[in-house]
Amino acid sequence: MKAKQTAFDFDFSEEQINPAEKKLTPPSINNIIQEEPIDIDLIAKPTSKVQSEPRKSVRGRMKLSDMAAGVELIDIPDDEALFSRRYYSIGAVTEMFKVNHSLIRFWENEFDILKPKKNGKGDRLFRPEDIKNLKLIYSLLRERKFTIEGAKEFLKKNKNADKKFESIEALKNLKSFLHELKSGL
């Protein structure tokens, strides 16, 4: 099969173009296909750049102010509801903590107290105790602004850190209940 060669001839004489419009502009593909003359007035002229707000980056480290704002967003059920199931998938855990899967996997590698079970496929199954430990790690890193190494050291030195954390959480819940009661009076 022979290849066909198509030639286009763009003959613009000086009479057809105004002197102010002598800029060479490429013809649009539709005009080439339809073989119609180009109307230079219809070609879009570049507009001045409008300064828009800078796009928020989704990469890199999160700001401390954003971390503090995200602490109130975690949605972990109370103990009775938490212990009603034996295992939670990593997707359910990330929904509770509002973080990425990769962060939970990273914390699993970094902290020895996290030991989720893995099924035959390799999916992580978190027990309620693991979720409690994740909540402790989350509070150390996000609320109290510990570094990873500082949180590891804190957990090594304070063997009863989880019990202390539970008592602090209970006191916070009591405080919020009292504030609600006071506002209702």
At 12 the pLDDT is 56
At 75 the pLDDT is 76
Q: What is the mean pLDDT of each run of 10 residues along the chain (185 residues)?
A: 65 57 56 54 54 62 61 74 89 90 92 90 91 90 90 84 73 84 86
Question: What is the dihedral sign for C-alpha 117, 123, 124, 128?
Answer: negative
CATH of domain 64-174: 1.10.1660.10
- Domain positions in the chain: 64-174
Contact criterion met (CB below 8 Å) for 96 and 76: yes
At 56 the pLDDT is 62
At 76 the pLDDT is 81
At 155 the pLDDT is 86
Phi and psi (nearest 5°) for 165? Answer: -65, -40
* pTM given for the model: 0.54
